[in-house]
Amino acid sequence: YNLTNNMLPKTAVKAIILNEDNKILLLQRNPQIRDTDNWDLPGGLVEQDEDPEQALRREVREETNLVIHLKSKATTWKFVRKLDNKTIQVQNYICTTNNSNIILSEEHVQFKWIDLKDIKDYKVKDSSLYQSLLNSK
């Protein structure tokens, strides 16, 4: 990404992946790479000329090795990116997967399947993620 041209993407996509027990997948960031060990949904930035749903499938595959099935758009949230103080708009999608063989990328150190109601027990990047998840039912 070229910071000088202010070309970093400003939209992101995240997957609320539900397993057969209706639990959602959370990933814990690798503090050696991300400067934090907070928890997040799988997903990431939508690159230029990339469809948001393509971006979501790509990011989830890169981070977890899962193939997902997008069910519907869910809620949105936002956070301020520390790198350039830009507000990033995030679109959540409800997804399923029929694969439970998670292989994490180096970006994350562990994963958990949690009940949605327990999300507040996990430190996340921005509190607007809590509300967006709790309103996603």
Query: Are 62 and 26 a contacting pair, CB within 8 Å?
Result: no
- pTM: predicted TM-score of the whole model, two decimal places: 0.89
Residues 40-93: pLDDT tens digits? Answer: 999 999 998 999 999 999 999 999 999 999 999 999 999 888 888 999 999 999
Query: Are 27 and 108 a contacting pair, CB within 8 Å?
Result: yes
Taking the CA atoms of 74, 78, 83 and 86 in sequence, report the sign of the dihedral they define. positive
As a whole number of angstroms, the distance between CA 108 and CA 31 comes to 8
Query: Are 17 and 95 a contacting pair, CB within 8 Å?
Result: yes
**Element holding 7 (H helix, E strand):** none
Residues 22-32: pLDDT tens digits? Answer: 999 999 999 99
